[in-house]
């Protein structure tokens, strides 16, 4: 940078004598200094100047790197570069693997890519005519030049690919084929399956009572059908089509290889023949399965041409699951509770039994099957439930479900089916008959069992005789049941309290939180539900008072629990039901099976008419909207907002089933959020469209949503306020 000079003062331009005249600064100097002095202008300039710096040398023009020469399509060249980089070795080494047929580093996907990226004829000609230095070519071009030196390089790659694909395909299909064959053989050889099918024809869904009483060997049926359940979902025809298409490719390559050079034949003939032999073995297995299928068709009295193994295995798997559920069921409608990753199935136990700090109370409104209570305890103990008997209290006014109540429940369903062509769809756990005994004032309670056992026995025998007179085929082991009941009496005695006094003390003692858990749902209430397809008790908020002996003024917040869609077990009107792929999707994603009955739940869009009706009866303080995550995959979501009859909106929920069957649902359609919500833990984590769905529910019902469930675990419940 050049030196920066000061502005030249005026006196610098004048002769020295002029500068010393008048009152100039030079004239003010002492006389002794008046000799002529010429200012050192150079020194002044340096004093008031920036120090000089050496000028930078001018840079010469940048030398541009010569651009690589390529004759290959840019996209193809780019993709090939990506493929080649995976090997971390030279082009020559990769080409050498192709020439030797070495597939150790060349899997099916890489071989497919290499085939796709082979150059066109004009690219090949341009490359071969290039006479300059090969190092100036792009990497892809250099790779191809090496590849061109290999005779029949494309056929070599195709041979390697078909052998690799065959290996992968057979590894996938062979286990499936074995599973199908084993499943077919299992169905053909199980001696229990015919008994099971006859039992279904005889008593319909009423399996648990018949099996436990007269067909105990059927308890092993689920084990027989285990192989069938493993084969369910495997599509035999799809497998066979895949294998046939691959075999066709192998045979085509074999023909081309036969016409190729001797060295190529020598190199690939063995591996290709191995793939052909393995594929033909699989075809033989398919033929064996086809014969088994024909045997099954004859065995099951089905049309050979119409029998589908997929449908058969699916049906048998459903039978297996329903059968297990029928045997595992407890007393009342059940529910699944997930805590710390463990699933508990409860029917009689309150959900709070899991909490070691909580006291659980079974109120007088519950009907109790004592064998079922202890079976439920045993099953959940295996899952980690401990010391339940120390924190469970049973009201002495609760009515008892007897074994003959359960038998009668099943017989009544059979009668309804025979007489009316339809049944109610009860759990067949004796609930209805027990409440009938209660209403007829012939029922027996826990307090009766623990009091005078002789008096209890007399009343038990009278009640049993009443049912035997109504159902002549009903067999009751009176003495055997009384003996068991006497044993249960001693087991439950430490847990039994006067329920009314217990609740009074709880309400008026030291401050505590009391959570009342209602079973079933509003639409199953004996008075307000979709009668006659209801339970036998009041499961709306009024049941808190009658089922526990709690005065109304003590009822605080009332929380309604509703899924993000609507479900129902059994028959009865269901206006928003989706008998289509939407209903199937909701059922499968939501795992909608009845905990007690094992029946597949019917599924449909969220019905806000029902929700508003439930609010009218219960007066919800807030809502818990569960299973929102089940809707994550839907493109659009509908909400039933109103019912129409004769084209006009109605402001009420119809009581009559026939009218309810005729209503037309008015829907509001919202866009789906198409986002996984299972990881959401606060409101802000939910997609805006999911938030809009929740707000829509709040606005229509007039009740705030306090909790949103996005999964099974406790951590998956988002609290909004």
Q: ω into residue 532 within 30 of 0, thus cis?
A: yes
CA distance 432 to 534: 10
Concatenated DSSP letters of 682-718? SGGGS-HHHHHHHHHHHHHHT--EEEEE-SSSGGGEE
Neighbours of 606 (CB within 10 A): 24
Asked whether 616 and 648 are in contact (CB, 8 A), the reply is no
CA distance 270 to 264: 11
Residue closest to 274 by CA, chosen among 163, 370, 194, 354:
163
With DSSP H G I counted as helix, E B as strand and the rest as coil, what are the percentages for the chain, rounded to 5?
55, 10, 35
N residues, the chain:
721
Asked whether 347 and 330 are in contact (CB, 8 A), the reply is yes
CA distance 207 to 88: 65
Q: Is 568 helix (H, G, I), strand (E, B) or coil?
A: strand
**Axis-axis angle for helices 262-299, 309-328 (nearest 10):** 50
Angle at 132 between CA 130 and CA 133, to 5 degrees: 120
Asked whether 365 and 538 are in contact (CB, 8 A), the reply is yes
Per-residue tokens: 114: 């290499």
**Axis-axis angle for helices 139-148, 121-128 (nearest 10):** 90
CA distance 97 to 103: 7
Largest CA distance in the chain: 155
Asked whether 187 and 296 are in contact (CB, 8 A), the reply is yes
- Strand-strand pairing, 399-400 and 367-368: parallel
**683-710: burial string, b at 16+ Cβ within 10 Å, e else:** eeebbeebeebbebbeebbebebbbbbb
Neighbours of 12 (CB within 10 A): 13
CA distance 575 to 117: 57
**340-379: burial string, b at 16+ Cβ within 10 Å, e else:** eeeebbbbbbbbbbbeeeebbbbbbbbbbbbbbbebbbee
Asked whether 50 and 3 are in contact (CB, 8 A), the reply is yes
Q: Active-site residue 303, yes or no? A: yes
CA distance 302 to 105: 50
Angle at 279 between CA 274 and CA 285, to 5 degrees: 130
Residue 318 main-chain phi, psi, to 5 deg:
-65, -45
Neighbours of 680 (CB within 10 A): 20
Q: Active-site residue 217, yes or no? A: no
Cβ-proximal residues to 212 (8 Å cutoff; 6+ apart), any chain: 327
Residue 362 main-chain phi, psi, to 5 deg:
-95, 115
The catalytic residue among 335, 498, 554, 632 is 335
- Strand-strand pairing, 717-719 and 559-563: unpaired
DSSP state of 670: E
The catalytic residue among 17, 121, 262, 303 is 303
Which residues have a catalytic role annotated?
A: 303, 335
């Amino acid at each position: 940078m050049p030196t920066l000079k000061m502005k030249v003062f005026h006196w610098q331009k004048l002769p020295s004598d002029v500068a010393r005249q008048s009152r100039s600064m030079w004239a003010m100097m002492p006389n002794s200094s008046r000799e002529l002095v010429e200012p050192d202008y150079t020194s002044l300039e340096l004093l008031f100047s920036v120090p000089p710096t050496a000028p930078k040398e001018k840079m010469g023009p940048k030398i541009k790197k010569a651009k690589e020469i390529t004759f290959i399509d840019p996209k193809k060249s780019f993709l090939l570069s990506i493929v080649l980089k995976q090997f971390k070795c030279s082009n020559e080494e990769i080409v050498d693997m192709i020439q030797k047929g070495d597939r150790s580093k060349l899997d099916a996907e890489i071989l497919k890519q290499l085939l796709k990226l082979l150059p066109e004829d004009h690219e090949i000609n341009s490359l071969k005519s290039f006479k300059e230095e090969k190092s100036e070519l792009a990497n892809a071009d250099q790779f191809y030049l090496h590849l061109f030196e290999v005779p029949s390089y494309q056929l070599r790659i195709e041979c390697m690919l078909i052998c690799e694909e065959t290996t992968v395909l057979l590894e996938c299909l062979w286990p499936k084929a074995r599973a199908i064959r084993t499943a077919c053989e299992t169905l053909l050889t199980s001696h229990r399956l015919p008994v099971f099918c006859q039992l279904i024809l005889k008593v319909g869904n009423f399996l648990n009572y018949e099996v436990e009483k007269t067909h105990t060997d059927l308890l092993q049926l689920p084990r027989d059908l285990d192989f069938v359940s493993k084969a369910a979902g495997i599509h035999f025809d799809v497998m066979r089509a895949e294998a046939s298409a691959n075999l066709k490719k192998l045979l085509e390559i074999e023909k081309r290889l036969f016409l190729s050079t001797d060295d190529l034949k020598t190199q690939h003939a063995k591996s290709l023949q191995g793939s052909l032999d393995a594929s033909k073995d699989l075809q033989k297995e398919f033929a064996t399965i086809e014969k088994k299928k024909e045997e099954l068709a004859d065995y099951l009295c089905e049309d050979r041409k119409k029998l589908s193994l997929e449908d058969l295995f699916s049906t048998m798997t459903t039978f297996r699951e329903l059968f297990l559920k029928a045997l595992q069921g407890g007393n009342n409608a059940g529910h699944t509770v997930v805590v710390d990753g463990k699933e508990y199935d409860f029917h009689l136990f309150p959900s709070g039994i899991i909490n070691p700090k909580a006291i659980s109370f079974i109120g007088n409104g519950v009907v109790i099957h004592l064998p079922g209570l202890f079976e439920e305890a045993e099953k959940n103990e295996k899952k980690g439930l401990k010391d339940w008997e120390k924190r469970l209290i049973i009201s002495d006014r609760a009515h008892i479900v007897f074994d003959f109540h359960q038998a009668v429940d099943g017989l009544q369903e059979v009668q309804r089916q025979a007489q009316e062509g339809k049944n109610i769809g009860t759990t067949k756990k004796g609930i209805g008959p027990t409440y009938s005994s209660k209403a007829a004032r012939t029922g027996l309670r826990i307090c009766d069992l623990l009091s005078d056992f002789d008096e209890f026995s007399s009343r038990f025998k009278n009640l049993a005789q009443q049912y035997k007179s109504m159902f002549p085929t009903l067999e009751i082991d009176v003495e055997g049941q009384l003996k068991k009941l006497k044993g249960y009496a001693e087991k439950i005695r430490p847990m039994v309290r006067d329920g009314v006094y217990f609740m009074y003390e709880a309400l008026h003692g030291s401050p505590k939180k009391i959570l009342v858990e209602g079973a079933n749902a509003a639409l199953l209430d004996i008075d307000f539900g979709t009668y006659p397809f209801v339970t036998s008790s009041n499961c709306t908020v009024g049941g808190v008072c009658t089922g526990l002996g709690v005065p109304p003024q003590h009822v605080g917040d009332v929380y309604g629990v509703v899924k993000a869609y609507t479900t129902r077990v059994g028959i009865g009107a269901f206006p928003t039901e989706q008998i289509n792929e939407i209903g199937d999707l909701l059922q499968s994603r939501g795992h909608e099976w009845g905990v007690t009955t094992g029946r597949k739940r019917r599924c449909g869009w969220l019905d806000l008419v029902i929700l508003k009706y439930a609010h009218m009866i219960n007066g919800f303080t807030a809502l818990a909207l569960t299973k929102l995550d089940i809707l994550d995959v839907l493109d659009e979501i509908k909400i039933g907002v109103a019912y129409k009859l004769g084209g006009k909106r109605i402001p009420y929920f119809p009581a009559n089933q026939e009218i309810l069957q005729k209503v037309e649902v008015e829907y509001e359609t919202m866009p789906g959020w198409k986002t996984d919500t299972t990881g959401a833990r606060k409101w802000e984590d939910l997609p805006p469209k999911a938030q809009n769905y929740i707000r829509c529910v709040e606005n229509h019902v007039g009740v705030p949503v306090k909790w949103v469930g996005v999964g099974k675990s406790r951590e998956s419940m988002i609290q909004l306020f």
